[in-house]
């Protein structure tokens, strides 16, 4: 295992896992899906509760998917979700993206979603992803870039400003979607090997606002976000409550709209 520090600024509380568990191949890895073939062997790095991993496993019925996460916390949920979905070609284990415990040239595809921004050395992570990918295989990554919302909200702006400060304080690289292709080049890929694209999440219906705003409100008050903010003196309890109220007002606004832009890369080895 590597000696890189853990810089993830969140945790695996129920609100965080609900956010991660909403993700599917369709809404979070559509740029990768056209490259998948039924017999492929795939590594999903930073798999969390396994929702994307299990979805991808369904698309490679004669292959297999291994999901790895730096901590065991979400992996039981991932295994339970795979069992619930009747997926038998997915497995989950602890692993470090900086030092993957697989031989060279093992996988047809190595995928990471919203992971590089949360690790100490994203370039080393991409080097490792490349190392365990077979010649002719694919390294795929998707990272958030810019969030935007309507209507204007001091509470939501304060939340994202604080979230960025916390991530930077922990040693992360928040919202790197616009330049992950540069990291890939630093990791050894030629520019001609990299295909860039962009995707979005958008929340605007009452159900979508309730889901997204509700989980973000809960995370504001009762997750590592709140603990770090208070412990480091980055925000007071009243300021966190104001941010949570900002999310609640956005949920209740019939015109509420929220979108996140993501940068995506397909890197051919």
Domains by residue range for the chain, with CATH: 14-147+171-202+256-268 (3.40.50.150)
Integer-rounded Cα Rg, in Å, for the chain is 18
What is the DSSP annotation of 225-240?
A: HHHHHHHTTS--HHHH
Angle 154-170/224-231 helices, nearest 10 degrees?
80
Enter the tokens of residue 181: 């292709």
Structure-token match 């890197």, residue found = 267
Cis amide linkage into residue 151, ω under 30° from 0: yes
Q: Which of 136, 177, 182, 140 is nearest to 32 (CA)?
A: 140
pTM exceeds cut of 0.85: yes
What's the angle, vertex CA 9, arms to CA 78 and CA 74, rounded to 5? 10
Enter the tokens of residue 162: 């604080």
pLDDT tens across the length of the chain (269 residues) = 455 766 555 545 565 556 567 899 999 999 999 999 999 999 999 999 999 999 999 999 999 999 999 999 899 999 999 999 999 999 999 999 999 999 999 999 999 999 999 999 999 999 999 999 999 999 999 999 989 999 999 999 999 999 999 999 988 899 999 999 999 999 999 999 999 999 999 999 999 999 999 999 999 998 888 999 999 999 999 999 999 999 999 999 999 999 999 999 999 99
Enter the tokens of residue 62: 């004669």
How far is residue 124's CA from residue 210's CA, in Å, rounded to a whole number?
38
Q: How many CB atoms are closer than 10 A to CB 82?
A: 22
Q: Helix (H) and strand (E) counts for the chain?
A: 10, 7
């Amino acid at each position: 295992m590597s000696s890189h520090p853990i810089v993830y600024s969140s945790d695996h509380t129920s609100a965080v896992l609900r956010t991660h568990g909403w993700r599917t191949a369709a809404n979070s890895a559509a740029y990768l899906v056209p490259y998948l073939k039924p017999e492929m062997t795939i590594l999903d790095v930073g798999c969390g509760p396994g929702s994307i991993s299990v979805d991808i496993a369904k698309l490679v019925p004669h292959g297999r998917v291994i999901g790895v996460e730096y901590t065991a916390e979400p992996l039981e949920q991932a295994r339970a979700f795979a069992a619930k979905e009747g997926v038998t070609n997915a497995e989950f284990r602890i692993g470090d993206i900086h030092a993957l415990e697989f031989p060279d040239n093992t996988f047809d595809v190595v995928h990471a979603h919203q992971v590089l921004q949360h690790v100490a050395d994203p370039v080393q992570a991409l080097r490792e992803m490349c190392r365990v990918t077979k010649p002719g295989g694919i390294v795929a990554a998707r990272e958030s870039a810019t969030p935007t919302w309507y209507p204007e909200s001091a509470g939501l702006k304060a939340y994202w400003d604080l979230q960025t400060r916390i991530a930077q304080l922990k040693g992360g690289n928040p919202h790197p979607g616009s330049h992950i292709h540069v990291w890939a080049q630093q990791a050894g890929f030629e520019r001609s090997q990299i295909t860039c694209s962009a995707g979005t999440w958008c929340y605007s219906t009452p159900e979508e606002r309730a889901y997204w705003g509700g989980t973000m409100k809960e995370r504001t008050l009762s997750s590592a976000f709140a603990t770090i903010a208070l412990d480091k003196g980055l925000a007071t309890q009243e300021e966190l409550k104001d941010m949570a109220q900002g999310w609640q007002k956005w949920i209740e606004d019939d015109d509420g709209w929220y979108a996140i832009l993501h940068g995506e890369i397909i890197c051919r080895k």
